[in-house]
Structures are given as C-alpha cells and as structure tokens.
Structure 1
C-alpha cells in the first residue's frame, strides 16, 4: 500500500492557497503600524504561484483571484460604505464591490498578463521587470475609483516614505514590486540552479531596496527646516463629529440641522480663536450644506449674513466646506474663503468629485441612469488647482492650496498648487460615509500625507468625523484627532519657502515613464517577432541597381554620430507634438517658443546629421581590369579588392538610415559602412559584377518592412521642397492676411504702420510657423503609417507593398487636406 500523498506540496502549489496567503499579508500591510515591512514580501506567495502557471488563462485566473482578495483585504470598508450610501445594505455593497474587483484593481490583471507574455519570450527577469512597469502604467493610464497605490502603505515607515519627493507614492510602489520580484527570483534560482549561492544576487537586491530608501530618507530629513523655524501658521481645525445629515434632516428638518451644525462650529471656532490664539479657522467639507454667496432662499441669505458676522467678530479668516452656484445654475462642492473686512474672497471648486455619487459625466447621464442611481448628485468638477491668500490679523498673506476629499489623492493637483506659489495645503474632507470602519479614513489620511512629502508643503487637514490633524513636510501627523470624536485640533507649522523636490520639477513622472518603457519593450517584441517570421508569400520585388552607385562611406564613429543626431531630431519632433497637444507652458501656446524649440530640437541635429553624411558622400565604381571596388570621395579614392569581399549584410538597425556592412574573407566586417537607399539592390549589383552571392530578397518581417520603406526622393506632392516650402507658403498667405485684418484693419496694415521690413518679417514668421506645423503634422502621420505597416508586416506580409502605397497616399491626403481644412474652420469660426 503506497503512502498517502503529503498535503503540504499540494497546498504549496495551489494558486488558491497562494492568493489567500498574499491577501492576508496585504491586509496586515494595509493596516499600517508595525506591519509595513510586510510590503516587501506580501506578493511573494502569489508570484510563486504565477511562476507555476503554464498558460495565460491560468495567470489571468490567478490575477482575478488576487484582485478579489486584495479588494476584500484592503477595501472591505468601502463595500460597507457603498451599501450604507445606496441603502442596499453592507453585505450587498461588499458583494458588489468584490464583483467589480477586476475593474477596481485592473493593474493586478495587467501585471500578471505582461509577466506571462514577456517571461515566456525573454525570461523571468525581464518578465518581472516588465510586469512592474505594467502595474505602474495601468495605475496611471486606466481610470480607477480611488487612485490607490501600494506605496501609501509605507506611510508608517518614516525614513522610507521620504523618497516620495523623488517619485511620489508610485515610486514607492515600484520599490515594493521590485522587492517582491527579487525575492521571487531568489527562490526560483535556489530551486532551479541548486543552492543559495545562485540566490545571493537577488537577495542582495531585495535587501538593498529598503536600505537605499532609508538612507535617502535620512538625508532628506536632514535637509528639512526645523519645525519651529521661519514664519508659522497656526490653524484651528473643527471636527464636529456630526455625520448622518440625511437622517438628521428627516428627524429635525433642514433648517434645524443647519442651525445645530453652525452653532456647534461657532462655539468651537470661538475657543480656537480666543483661547488657543489660532490665526485662522478651518471647517470640514460640506459642513455648510447649502450654497454660500448665492443663497437659494431668504433663510439661506440670513445664514450667510450670520457667518459673515461671526468672521468679523472673530477677526480671523475662515475656510469652510459649502456649495457654490454659478450664474448658469450649476453647483459645485466648494471651499469658501471668508476674511474679516473683506467678506467672501472666493470659492475653490472641488476638482475630483466622487464618480456616480457627487457627479455623473454628461455622456453617461440620463433618466435611465438616474432611475438606477437615484442618489447620484449633480455637482460639476472644478477647473484644477487654485491658490488663495489667507489674510491674517498680523498683516501677513499666506498663499494656500485648498483640496477637497478625493482631490488629496491627486498628486498633480498638489504639484500644480506648489508651482503656483502655495506655502501650505488646506485639506477639507467628509469621511462620514465610511462610518462602518475607521480603516477608510486612516488610509485617506495616509494618502493625503504623501502630498506634503511630494511638495514639502505643510498641510492642515480637517474632516467631519476624523481623522484631522497637522501634517508637516516630512509627512508626520501632529495634533491628530481620533476617529468618531468631537475635537478641536490647534497647531502651528512653518510656512516658509519649501525646499525643491523632483516631483515639483518633473510632476508625477513615474507612471508616464513606465508606460513609455513598457511600450518600447512591447515594440521590441513586435520587431523580434517580425524578424523571426518567415513568410511564404511573394516578397517585395527588388529595385534594379547597377554600378556606379552613390552612397555614404561611413567609419564607425561617423555612423553612430549621425545616428544619434537623427534619433535626437526625431525624438525632439515627437516631444514637441506631445507638448503642443498635451503639455503646458510656452511650447504649447507660444509660436516663437515653438519655433525656437523646433530649430533647436529638430533642425539643428537633422542639419548636422545631413552635413555629416554629405561629408562622407562617395561614389562606388568597379575597376574590372584590376578587380577592385573604387570609392571616390572628394577627389580621393579608396580601393577594396573584389576577391576579398565575402558577403553583404544589410543593417538590421537602419541608423542613420538604410545601409549595409561588407563582410571580408577573413570573417570581419570592413571598417566602413555603406549608407544607401536599398542595401539589397546594392548587394545584387555587386553580385552582377562578380561579387559574393547577394542576400536573399527579404522574406522576414522586419527586413521586409525595411525593404518596403519609401524612396528618399519621392515624387509629386511628396517632394520635400513642395511639402515643406511651397505648401506652407500657400497656407501662410491666407492666414497672414486674416491676421493683418484682425490686428491692423487691412491686408497691408502692418506695412502701412511699420514699413516693409516689419511686414516681410511678420510674413516670414508666419511662413516659418506653418512650415513647422507641416513638419510636425507629417511626423505624426509618419509615425502612424510606420506603426500600421509594422503590424501589416506581421499580419499580411504578402500585401505589404500595396499597403505601403495606400498608407503613403492616405498620409499625403490627410496632410494636404487636413491642414487647409483646419485653417478654413478657424477662419469661419
């Protein structure tokens, strides 16, 4: 009788056991305190289970299971809140949340799929690194309800969290993911390579991550100013612990509830000002539950006057949560700034209203949705970060950045406010709907603290039911209140010039960089697949070529210098397209700044590359009598015996353009590379005069794609002088004339006002601007064409030649019709 199979191996290899183990570790990590080191091991059981999966379906199933476990471990309180808010009950709310877990945490599914895809093709190490990039990319690109990230769990680690001023909370998430992957690699090597020696390197990497973060944290804390240095701002934070407004309205009536709320806040604010000498008073989000400044009734107007009189009597500025109504009747969740002697200074409108509760997008709104979601509000989103002055009694004006609830999860808002000159952050929140658990408010406060670390701005945070407190530039919380208590928190923080941070300079850069690197990696995989795919269909026909041939004879340094210049020029074009379409600052809106950037980033490196190639231009001829290949350049000749030529190898990387290397009979490449339009045709021409066998006409994906690239001297509308000189000139004529009429009253207005030189200079700038616009548009279209043809080379390689023809025609049509059409629409509007 055979012995029973041990239970432990089955449990160890089970994806469900692994998911359960990781979910329990995640739950402990999310509760903070002493458990923060678990963040570096919490995914390890699940990663080991992923390593054992054989196909993408198993990986996806395991990721789905972890998304459910992760949601239950960290956000069960949100399910209870949803159930209470929608009145369907906490169990039903939690069930709904778990059902939507893959949508709530999509980065887990993306991580697992990319890890499987890349790991199968490139190995486990690249697969793990790519998966970490995919996690961050998904968090940045995909819409998610709470914008949560693993890095928030490191808030209890004082030293480690300081690195958020470099890469934000997302940077800490990357460190956690890499730490887990390093431990997984160590266990994998120990099992497969035999012993712990093979695991030393990944174990060292896993240990180095928290050590490096801690070392940086110590340095960062040493650079921060002392807590009592510089000018101080002392604020009183009123936490009333009045929660269920709807129940109170039903029991007491709307007017009585407002009366009770205001009287309590008046009393606590009086204590803050008179006894504790606060410079200003801060009330929570929507604490005044009607419009302020545009009352809806006479009773509302009376309440408004009463608040203004209280502020006058206190002699201190007040900031409180309320509603705002604009002239069109649209309402906003807002923060009102009221100063003694000045009255209402203005409103900050909440930029990130909670979806499907506070706000419904116009494209989704309608009677059917309102019937399904009767609780959905009609608040509109605000316009982004704004900085307001706190006018203090001692004559100081402290610029502050207000944030409301979900705004505090948006690093971009805090960074924008810091760039606008804010010296402190005022955060107002109403976490009362998380009344079933204190975990939600605790996580919200920890996430808000990262906005202070990223910008090094002090933060005063008030909520209706907790947690409230003062958050200094290191993320430490002072004068903290407890959850579910009525409390007045008063404290002071320095509000001097904050030290610079990388996050303030670069913005929230980790997600975009991870997305770009992942896109490059996937593009590399596509190119690799194209290289390996051999097609059975007819290849692109060879272009005829005979000697002599014009080419560029490039030594190695010259080739790579020209390649670097061309790559830089095209990267500059793509950056300008991105900056104009999606960026901010002068490059987006200032034509002169655009022209300067275009010249510096594209024209200068492209012209340098062209000059370098021209400097090495040569003509290849055959000396049949001597059996020599002669390269003539600038009156000088260089010879190569035809008998020494063993082969012609087209460049796999077409930089600075298409070309080939000559393989000699000794097995080495000749020291010069040949840059030419069609290296396959060149090889056939050499074969025709007695050279080595020409390489096969390309039948592989990437070579086929490269061979199909258009001629560098296109005809018709594709000619460079037509595209970049004549066409912009024709566009500039009506645009410049329209500008003259608008700015000077007639088509020759600038000529009559300032003379011919100014008139011609003005037209030249318009011509140059349109030439730049044509170049940028052509670059964007070229990128689309080449990406489409890369896919075509993989899917329909036999149709690549006609596909190239039609794609080029469509791109020219889009260019020559699109820009005039856009100009016409602008003129008509």
Structure 2
C-alpha cells in the first residue's frame, strides 16, 4: 500500500484545517458575534499548503479536496435535507453532495489552479490577484445552487458588510482572499526579518481599514428612519409553522389541508389588521397550493372567492405565494390581491431549485422522471417584476417580490431596484430547513445582502422561519425563530434609496475578475512588449547637434490661454463622467450629452489645438546658435547666452521649458516640446554650458523623457481611437436597436426615411465615441499616475512600467470594450 509522504500529509492538513475554520466561520456567521473574524485567516492553512505544491496537477487535486472538505464541513446538512426530501437515507444524501462537491463549489479548483499557474510567471501580488479573480469569476460564470460565497460570512459585521453596495458579496470575497493571502505571505516570510512580515500585514490591515472606514462613512450617510411626514410601510407577516403538506394530506385529505392553512392565516391576519393596524399582509411561498385565479375545480373557485372576500373585508392588500398557469405550463408565483377586485397581478419565480422544482429541457425525459419521480415540473419566470402596492391611505409603494432562491440572485435585486422598487418582499417555504437551522440562517444572511447592494429595505416571510424585517443597512430589525407560529410586524422606510455602485454597474466584480484573467493570459505578449520598450528606453539619447525638434513657441499669455482651455476640457469631461455614473437619468438623453460634450470638451480642445498650430516651430542648432523657425519668423539665440533650461513644473498645455539667459532674465517665450531632455542633450552636444544637464534631473524633465521613451502606436491616434474605433461597438448596438425598435436592420429607414436613419446612427456613434473618450481618460489617469509612482519608487524601471501600462491600457480599450459588449449581448 502506498504511503502518504510528508508533503502529502501537510497538504491534507492544510485542507482539513481550512475546512474546520470554514465550518466555524459559517456557524459564527449564523449566530453573529465575532465568528466572522475567522474570515481573515481561514484560508491561510490551505494557502501555505498550496505554496508547497510544485505542479499544476497537485494544485488541481488540492482544489478538489478543498471543495469536498468544504461541503463536508459547511454543507453536510444540505445532503441530509435532500435525502429527507427524496426519501433516501441521510448517509446517501451526504455521499451524493460530497461526490458533487466540485460542481457545488467549483471555485476552489479554479482558484488553486490559476493561482499556481500565475505564480510560475509572476510575483506574489499578481498571483494573489489572479487567484482571487478566478474565484469570483467562476462564481459569476457558474452561479452556485445556494448562491453562497465567502463574503457572506461578514453579514454579522455592521461596518464591514456595507462595502457590499460597492462590489456585492463577491467584492467582499475578493478582498477577504487578498487579506488571507497577505497573512499567509507574512507567515511564509517570518524568517526573513521583521520588514518582510510587516509589509504584507500592513497590506491586510489597510484592506480591513478601507472596508471598515467605508462602512462607517456609508452608515453615517444612511438614514433608515422615515423622513419627516413620511409614514413607514407596516406589514403583517404570517409565519404559520404549517409544514409537511404531504403528511397532512395523507392524514386530513387535500381539501382539509388547504382549509386548515387558510383558516390559520385568516386568524393571524385578522389579528394583524385589527390589533396592529398593518398596511398590508404578506404570506409565505406556495401557502395557497393551487392556481389562484385559474381554479381547477369548483371547490378551488370557491376558495379563490373566499380569499378575495377576506381581503375586501380586511381593507388591506395581500401578497401571497400561489401558482400561476398559462399555455406553456405552471409557475411558482406570488400574487398581489387588493381589497377592490382588479385584474390579478403575478410574479413568477425566476430562480427555481434544480430538479426539485424544475428540470432543464436538455435533461428532461421519461428516463429521468422514472428514476427521480419527485422531480418538479414548474417553469421559470422571466425576471424581476415590480408591483404597485396600493394602501388604504392612498399611498402607492413599488415592491419587488422575490420567492425563495430568488433572493440569492444578485441580478434580480439590482433589476428590481432599476425598475423603481422601494421595498423587497421575500416569500419562502424553508420547511426543509426544519431540522437544519444552519440552512435557514445561511438563507437569511444571503438575503440581507440584497438590501445592502440596493439599499432597499426588505420584508421576508417564511412558512416556519426565519421571517425577518431588514433595513437598508442589512440590519435584521425584527425576526422570528425556527419552528414557531408567529405574527411578525415589520416596519420599513419607503423613501427613495441612495444610489449604489452595484445598481449602477450591476454585478461587476465577477466580470472584472474575468477581464483580469484574460489580461493575464496575454501577459507573455505584454512582457515581450515591455522588454522591447525597455530596450528603447535604455538606448542612449540622440545628441546630434543638427537634430530637428518639433515644438510650439508660446508667450506666457498664450501658454496660459492654451493651458486653461485644455484644463477646462478635462474638467468638462470629468463632469460628464461623474454625471453619467451618479445620475442614471443622465444616460437617457443622448442629444443633451452630445451637445454638452461638444461645448465643454471638443470646443476648448479645438481652440487649444488652433493656438498650438498658430505657433508651431522647428527647433534645431546651427553653428553656435539655437534656431527656432516658424512660418514667417526665424529666431536665433546664441548658445553661450543660454544659462539654464527650466522645465515647466505644470505640463500645460504640454510639457515644455523656459530658457534662462546669461543676463539672468527669462527669454520672453516658452518652448513646448515632448522631451525637454532631448533639447538639453542637443544643446550640450553642440557646445552649450555643461551646467544645463542639471535640468534633466528635475521631475518634470524625467517624466517627459519616460513618456517620450515609449512611442505611441498608430492606433493610438485620436482619429483611430475616437472616430473609427467607436464604429466597432456602435454598429452592432445600432443594429440591435433597429431590430428591437423597428423590426429590422433598416426598419427606421423604411419607416422615416434616410435622414432620420442617418441621424439615429450618428447619435449612436457619437454616444459610443463619448463613452470611449471617458474610458480612455480613466485609463490615461492610471497610466500617468503609474508612471509618476514608478519614478518615485523605482526610477530605473519607469520606462518599462510605462510600457506595460500603455500595453495594458491598449488591450483594455481595443480588446476589453468589444469583449464587454459581446458578453452583454450574450447575456441578454
């Protein structure tokens, strides 16, 4: 029998230790307290074990083992619950989920494998980023059955969980992984001295401080109390604790079970209205276990009328779980019933539980149904829907119903917020958690993140617990216990929620993780470009005294004018970008945005360009003089009269320099040129004072030299980037618009003529050009800031760093934008 080696035992110990910590973490998250703090260190044993691995195969095996160990430690109850539902023995259920662990938790395998491959080429920082990106990208591409992620464990922390309105639970997962990587790095380097330990720990502390600081600031901005004069929504939630309908049907009969359920809900609802003065009632998922409004029998029709009569007498609206039906099949649904009979409003559950509620068409068939007779036949709904909840006092509150697993779907909550919802109404039948409260607590924790991400308060009712009222901070302000019959009265504010990045951008962290992985996959190409650019940067500068240098010769007044114009254009672009990010309504008026862009950005840039063209010059050295030639003017300055070159500290309208003359006075004009050092080299090479060389060491001159050392590509020309390239996204987007709005590619042309068609296309092209200009500006900020930072930290590598940043920015712009658009089109 083969014996496990010492490295094998260490790898196994790392997996087991992390699994145990995960178990404690999930239990601590369920009960509150400080258990969530384990999230900062629980991956560390496994990370240290992964670091000891020497092959991709070992990394993948370790990821598989971690997925199995995680399921055993955290989701063992799930196997027992499934076994109970299907009538199997609990041990068999646990074995099934252990075998399916790589399908239930695939992120462990992807994380381990990507982390190992990234570590072969890159340092620990990029390795950590790649691993975290793989984790969140897989969870985005492959939504898990229970919607769980690492970040949900921070639900008990009031401050830390607030960061979810920036990146959702996936963003918390990403940051927690980085914190664990930093702690593991500190432990691995403990023998390398205090500095080697302090650096990663400082990074971990900074991330925690960032999360906590953001949470504190965000909490100070949130006001969960109703505004003055605004009444809260007061909801009566009926937790009947009636479960196991199949057993009750066998004992009482189908009709008597429905009768028992309805009578219980009538009694508790009457108490809510008469004694607690609620505005509306909320009953749990499938509480009415037949099709409401589409009766299958006369007895069903009578029960429908009875419920309507009860609500009419109570005088408050009711949202309750039932079934809906159409020609294609039956749906798990929520219905809104009002005191005054009106056409019925239904929401159809979107995220159905695999096999127990729904079987995909490609898997369905007589063989499967014969082997698994308990498989469901419901059809999935078509996404989020917002109801107007009309109250007796005249208020109308838009509400977003979510049924059971719907509340683990980040996208549904975001879609509902975008549709104008003010409150989330959750309906669930968590009876299969009866013997497994850990599952009910997990479900509640996951549901709270929908409120944090959207800042919508939430009222959720379950058949037997845990029902809860959740405010915009994700705080459970009222709740029930498992297994109790209780009427829960929940009050939440219904004012307009504050805007969150998650609502604006959607579930963006997983997509960003995938984009990072795609970039890293082409890193060998980027690395080759970096080396080539670095060689260019280290090539000695040309000092030919007769070299011609293109420049712009400006008086101080014209320099100020051109600089202010360019600064005004940048501020205008920033204003447009901020407006688009923070005011969703700004995206709905493209003509206003186009005119604003033309006036605030294009016009001042064109004026600055005109000034530069008016004063363009050629600079060269002839004999013992510096010669500046313009269209109708030639200026000669003797070399021995140039005492110093003073680079402009502020590169506006571009990089440039003043000339200090031997008299001590500045020459009356400034010279704007790409590389001040090239001018200095030419002057010294022609015999000017060697003291001029000191100007090359100024930050402005060094920055200009690094910029000029990395040549721009032809596709970087503004005409290519902002005139031609916008056609790439604009053409498919415009065609899709024509298909949707007019029924064909040339629909608007056939309907309104060529002029309208061309104008519509130009609006789409201009809108994309503006969007790409904003994106390019953001990338430019990153490139320039990265260049400046590299000059401060590692001056000798600044040119290589800039070359890499330019290449990455180019990839993000010319490859990332089409890839993002393609993903949007594929995802609908």
Instruction: State if a TM-score over 0.5 links the two structures.
Output: yes
Give how far 1:275 is off: 2.4
Q: Which residue of 2 aligns with 1:246?
A: 246
Q: Distance in 2 between matches of 1:420 and 1:260?
A: 37
Unmatched runs of 5 consecutive residues or more in structure 2: 533-546, 554-558, 637-673, 703-707, 718-722, 736-741, 774-828
Distance 1:742 1:211 in 2: 58
**Contact 2:308/2:341 (CA < 8 Å) preserved in 1?**
no
Distance 1:415 1:770, change over 3 A: closer
Change (3 A) 1:398 1:15: same
Residue in 2 that maps onto 1:202: 200
2:62 is aligned to 62
Which of 443-452 and 252-261 deviates more? 252-261
What is the match of residue 782 of structure 1? none
1:360 equivalent in alignment to 2:392 = no
Counterpart Cα distance in 2 of 1:109 and 1:166 = 27
Q: CA deviation at 1:44?
A: 0.6
Q: Indicate the residue corresponding to 2:426 in structure 1.
A: 427
After the TM superposition, which residues 170-209 of structure 1 pair with which residues of structure 2 at under 5 Å, given as runs? Answer: 170-191=170-191, 193-194=192-193, 196-209=194-207
Residue 18 of structure 1 corresponds to 14
**1:369-408 maps to which residues of 2 (within 5 A)?**
369-408=368-407
Q: Which moved more, 1:11-20 or 1:171-180?
A: 11-20
Report the CA distance shift for 1:636/1:435 in structure 2 as closer, same or farther (over 3 A): farther
Mark the CA change 1:740 to 1:511 in structure 2 (over 3 Å): closer, same or farther: closer
Contact 1:79 1:94 in 2 (8 A): yes
Per the alignment, residue 809 of structure 1 pairs with none
Counterpart-to-counterpart distance in 2, 1:366 and 1:631 = 84
1:211, CA displacement in angstroms? 3.8
For 2:503, the equivalent position in structure 1 comes to 504
Residue 347 (structure 1) aligned with residue 346 (structure 2): yes
Alignment of 1:83-162 (within 5 A): 83-162=83-162
Distance across 2 between alignment mates of 1:239 and 1:775: 54
Distance 1:637 1:156, change over 3 A: same
Quote the residue 1:443 is aligned against. 442
Distance 2:283 2:97 in 1: 31
Residue in 1 aligned with 2:751? 742
SS at match of 1:14: helix
SS state of the match for residue 336, structure 1?
Answer: strand
How far apart are the structure 2 equivalents of 1:505 and 1:148?
Answer: 23
Distance 1:174 1:711 in 2: 33
Question: Superposed, which structure 2 residues align to 1:810-821 within 5 Å?
Answer: none
SS at match of 1:352: coil
User: What is the alpha-carbon distance in structure 2 between the residues aligned to residue 106 and residue 602 of structure 1?
Assistant: 47
Is 1:15–1:62's contact at 8 Å kept on the other side of the alignment? yes
Report the alpha carbon displacement of residue 342 of structure 1 after superposing the two structures with TM.
Answer: 3.2
From 216, 219, 229, the counterpart of 1:218: 216
In the alignment, the residues of structure 2 paired with residue 554 and residue 54 of structure 1 have an alpha-carbon distance, to the nearest angstrom, of 58
For residue 31 of structure 1, give the secondary structure of its aligned residue in structure 2: helix
Determine the structure 2 residue equivalent to 1:418. 417
- Is 1:479 aligned with 2:473? no
Please state if 1:28 is matched with 2:24.
yes
> Do 2:749 and 2:757's aligned partners in 1 also have CA atoms closer than 8 Å?
no
Q: What's the offset of the Cα at 1:12?
A: 10
Query: Cα gap change, 1:420/1:221 in structure 2, threshold over 3 Å: closer, same or farther?
Result: same
Shift of 1:42: 0.5
Please state how far the C-alpha of 1:599 moved relative to its aligned partner: 8.1
Q: Spell out, residue by residue over 1:120-173, the C-alpha distance to the aligned partner (whole angstroms, 9 max, x if none).
A: 212122211221222222222233222211111111122222222332222222
In structure 2, relative to structure 1, the CA distance for the partners of 1:40 and 1:764 (3 Å cut) is closer
Given the superposition, is the C-alpha separation of residues 395 and 401 from structure 1 closer, same or farther in structure 2, using an over 3 Å criterion?
same
Contact 1:165–1:501 (Cα < 8 Å) also in 2: yes
Per-residue deviation, 1:200: 1.2
Matched, 1:528 2:527: yes
Q: Is the 8 A contact 1:430 1:465 kept in 2?
A: yes
Counterpart position of 2:308: 308
Shift of the 115–739 alpha-carbon distance from structure 1 to 2, 3 Å rule, reads: closer
SS in 2 for 1:286: coil
Assess if the C-alpha contact under 8 Å between 2:384 and 2:412 holds in 1: yes
Q: Closer, same or farther in 2 for the Cα pair 1:249/1:412, shift >3 Å?
A: same
Partner Cα separation in structure 1 for residue 766 and residue 234 of structure 2: 53
Kept in 2: contact 1:736–1:766 (CA 8 A): no
Deviations 1:515-538 (A, max 9, x none): 3333333333443267789xxxxx
- Structure 1 residues 350 and 637: CA distance shift in structure 2, 3 A: farther
> Conserved in 2, the CA contact under 8 Å of 1:551 and 1:620?
yes
In 1, Cα distance between the equivalents of 2:549 and 2:745?
A: 42
Shift of 1:260: 1.8
For 1:793, the equivalent position in structure 2 comes to: none
Residue aligned with 1:88, SS = coil
**What secondary structure, in the 3-state scheme, does the structure 2 residue paired with 1:385 have?**
coil
Q: How many residues align?
A: 681
Residue 598 to residue 72, structure 1, CA distance change in 2 (3 Å): farther
Describe how 1:43-54 pairs up with structure 2 within 5 A.
Answer: 43-54=43-54
After superposition, where does 1:586-605 map in structure 2 within 5 Å? none
My pick for the range that moved more, 282-291 or 767-776, is 767-776
Contact 2:321 2:335 in 1 (8 A): yes
Change (3 A) 1:433 1:774: closer
Deviates more, 1:309-318 or 1:352-361: 352-361
Contact kept? 1:11, 1:17, Cα under 8 Å: no
TM-score (norm 2): 0.68
| 1:598–1:772 contact (8 Å) kept in structure 2 | no
Q: Deviations over 1:534-560 (max 9, x none)?
A: xxxxxxxxxxxxxxx9998899x9xxx
CA distance in 1, matches of 2:354, 2:610: 56
- Contact 2:748/2:757 (CA < 8 Å) preserved in 1? no
Given the two structures, how large is their TM-score scaled by the length of structure 1?
Answer: 0.68
Instruction: Report the alpha carbon displacement of residue 98 of structure 1 after superposing the two structures with TM.
Output: 1.6
Match for residue 277 of structure 2?
Answer: 277
Deviations 1:260-308 (A, max 9, x none): 2112211221222222322211110111111111222222111111110
Give the distance between the partners of 1:332 and 1:500, measured in 2 at CA: 33
